[in-house]
Amino acid sequence: MSRLIVTTYEEACRVIEQLGILPLSGSIPSHPSLDSITDPAAWHTSAETDPWLWRDRFASEGVAAYGRFIGTRPLLIARDIFPLVKCLLASPQTVKERYAAGLLARASVQIYEIIQQNHGIEVRQLKKLAYMQGKADKHDFDQALVDLQHTADIVISGTAENRNDQGNKSGWNGTCYMVAEQWMEEHGITPSQLSPTDAKAQVFDWLQPRWDEQAVAYLHKKLALFPSGEGKE
């Protein structure tokens, strides 16, 4: 799987289905990533063969959940195992309860509620509604998004064109976010009813025949604190 094998979106979909988890870049030892199985020359060409565009299609078409679920780098989790991963990542407390317990910043609650009320909201509109458009707000805004992805409360749902007040396209397409349960419902993905411990066991039962031992060991280490804690970098 380390050699160049993928030239089309459909082939990449099959790789995600086979591996279950595919990082965009090499963040898992002895494990493929989207950039390692595609031609570097194909990236950022805006053609149908551009893997940079595929990452949004995976999310918007329900092929894989997309986000910074483990650590700080984005990865793709196949729809077949995402309910299990979400189950083991999810906190037993609501977003508001975690804020009350001092586990989340106020910005996380505010941003989660805005996303919950605006399915697939584009990041610039999200900043506007959260009143976090200034440079001083950047760190808190970015950290809130990462924190909410670490517990699989939200996912990246695709991208959208940025429009100015006159309705004309302005600048680069922006990342869109959706509450994970809403994304799953939209794509017909059934939530897992397992306990976090059982979900974790099933995830590794699924991955071990498909992954290199070093990659499995890495993920075990990253998820060592789950389901009882926060396994973050």
The pLDDT of residue 134 is 93
The pLDDT of residue 36 is 95
Cα–Cα distance measured from residue 205 to residue 21, given in angstroms and rounded to the nearest whole number:
14
3-state secondary structure of 156: strand
What's the Cα-to-Cα distance from 201 to each of 176, 194, 223, rounded to whole Å? Answer: 31, 10, 11
At residue 26, φ and ψ (nearest 5 deg) are -70, 80
| pLDDT tens, residue by residue, 69-78 | 998 899 999 9
Q: Is 201 left (phi over 0), alpha (psi -120 to 50) or beta?
A: alpha
Cα–Cα distance measured from residue 206 to residue 200, given in angstroms and rounded to the nearest whole number:
10
The pLDDT of residue 232 is 40
| pLDDT tens, residue by residue, 145-187 | 999 999 999 999 998 876 555 555 655 678 999 999 999 999 9
**Residues of the chain under the 50 pLDDT cut:** 1-2, 228-233
Contact yes or no for 111/125 (Cβ under 8 A): no
The pLDDT of residue 230 is 42
Cα–Cα distance measured from residue 167 to residue 159, given in angstroms and rounded to the nearest whole number:
17
The pLDDT of residue 135 is 92
Report pTM: 0.90
What's the Cα-to-Cα distance from 225 to each of 23, 39, 228, 233, rounded to whole Å? Answer: 21, 36, 6, 12
